[in-house]
Amino acid sequence: MSLQIKINTDLKEAMKSKTEPLLSTLRLLKADIQYELTKNGAQELSDEQVIVLIKRGYAKRTDAIEMYEKANRTDLADQEKREAEVLKSYLPPDVPEEQIRAAVEKIVQELNASGPKDIGKVMGKVMAEFKGANIDGSKVSAIVKSKLS
């Protein structure tokens, strides 16, 4: 079952049971998917495209949580946290740090990378290797910088 179909099915179930914040979060996600479909003129998105949309929504929520907490709006921050948890449940598990370190080590060897000037090349190859996986770019960046510094 594709991720898009799973989201649609879960949305229908959430509508029947009136489960919040699942219902509102999935409605927003479905709107994002529908927008992408219209923009591309496609019938269905691949799982990788849907994951990109989910990650984008998750990032928006985490940014909003920080802003609300700075403004002492815990009620809104809690709502954003619940929505972020819903979105995170649709993402694949995080790539373990050890696996990232091993990939960085291998790619540094392949490219004969030696200094800060090679960070971009290494980052690009590492992110391409984990395409479609749930990987934090800032974590990869920190590992690459520590390796090449």
Residue 73 is predicted with a pLDDT of 94
Looking at per-residue pLDDT, the higher value among 135 and 60 belongs to 60
CA atoms of 27 and 38, how far apart (whole Å): 16
CA atoms of 55 and 138, how far apart (whole Å): 14
- Mean pLDDT within 94-110: 87
* Domains assigned to the chain: 3-90 (1.10.1510.10), 97-148 (1.10.10.410)
Residue 88 is predicted with a pLDDT of 92
Looking at per-residue pLDDT, the higher value among 27 and 129 belongs to 27
Contact 54, 91 (CB under 8 A): yes
Looking at per-residue pLDDT, the higher value among 113 and 53 belongs to 53
Looking at per-residue pLDDT, the higher value among 27 and 121 belongs to 27
Q: What SS3 string covers the chain?
A: CCHHHHHHHHHHHHHHHCCCCHHHHHHHHHHHHHHHHHHHCCCCCCHHHHHHHHHHHHHHHHHHHHHHHHCCCHHHHHHHHHHHHHHHCCCCCECCHHHHHHHHHHHHHHHCCCCHHHHHHHHHHHHHHCCCCECCHHHHHHHHHHHHC
Q: What would the pLDDT profile of 50-71 be if each residue is shown by its tens digit?
A: 988 998 999 999 999 999 999 9
pTM: 0.76
- Mean pLDDT within 104-132: 84
Residue 8 is predicted with a pLDDT of 93
- Mean pLDDT within 35-49: 88
- Mean pLDDT within 94-120: 85
